[in-house]
Amino acid sequence: MESAQYMMRDIPLEERPRERMMEYGAGALSHAELLAILLRTGTRQESAVHMAQRILNNAGGVRSLMDLSLEELTAMKGVGQAKAVQLKAGIELGHRIAKSRLAPSSCIRTPRDAADILMEQLRYLQKEHFVCLFLNSKNHIIAQETLSMGSLNASIVHPREVFRAAIKCSSASIVCAHNHPSGDPTPSPEDIQITKRLIEAGAIVGIDVLDHLVIGDGTYVSLKEKGLV
């Protein structure tokens, strides 16, 4: 008995992702359909859409795609080097577009201003990233730097590293931020302790720590607004 064929041509026209995108726009497509467009083709056993859904399932969801290496992608059935490179390129481009919201003229007046810049960069990461926005005397962003990755504690985020970077770019003040991969932005006792240490160190060198944001999944907490520092 001949095995079932799941080529794109066998899928009803109204279900083909490229045709649906041209008809209804990219926003109407599911995660699997968008991923299928990047994959371009499936195999003799499954369509690009079925392969895309399988990749999403194996990855644990769309937000986990960023963390997959080329080796992990090519280890999946039907994903060769060319497809893996296409996927990584598309994911990286999306990540860079999110980061491109940071413009040299961006001005930080409120915690929301900083959160709007950092939210899409940090909310999907599977490890904690500690990031600093460096501001000039008019609160315009002059630089951004990721200073640590991993569990947030005093041994990883050291004032020396933070203010070395701040002094290097002649920063007048800084806004710190880090993500909680759990999606819950509730500050931990360690978050509060580190922030207090940074504020104390900043007072010594003459660089104000304006705030520390904890980024969750589509939400954030400002330690300054909460009166925790």
Beta strand pairing call for 141-149 and 129-135: antiparallel
Confidence tier at 163 by pLDDT (50, 70, 90):
very high
Q: pLDDT tens-digit profile of 198-228?
A: 999 999 999 999 999 999 999 999 999 999 8
Average pLDDT over residues 43-64: 86
Average pLDDT over residues 65-90: 89
E strand intervals along the chain: 129-135, 141-149, 173-179, 208-215, 220-222
Q: What is the 3-state secondary structure (H, E, C) of 132-157?
A: EEEECCCCEEEEEEEEEECCCCCCCC
Conformation bin of residue 147: beta by default, left when phi > 0, alpha when psi is -120 to 50: alpha
Average pLDDT over residues 53-73: 86
Does residue 4 have a pLDDT over 60? Answer: no
Does residue 24 have a pLDDT over 50? Answer: yes
What is the spatial distance between Cα 16 and Cα 120, in angstroms, rounded to a whole number?
29
Task: Output the pLDDT for position 46.
Answer: 86
Q: pLDDT tens-digit profile of 26-53?
A: 888 888 888 988 888 888 888 888 899 9
Query: Where exactly are the structural domains of the chain?
Result: 8-101, 111-222
Superfamily classification of domain 111-222: Cytidine Deaminase, domain 2 (3.40.140.10)
Task: Output the pLDDT for position 14.
Answer: 45
Q: Report the candidate in 126, 123, 67 with the shortest Cα–Cα distance to residue 99.
A: 123
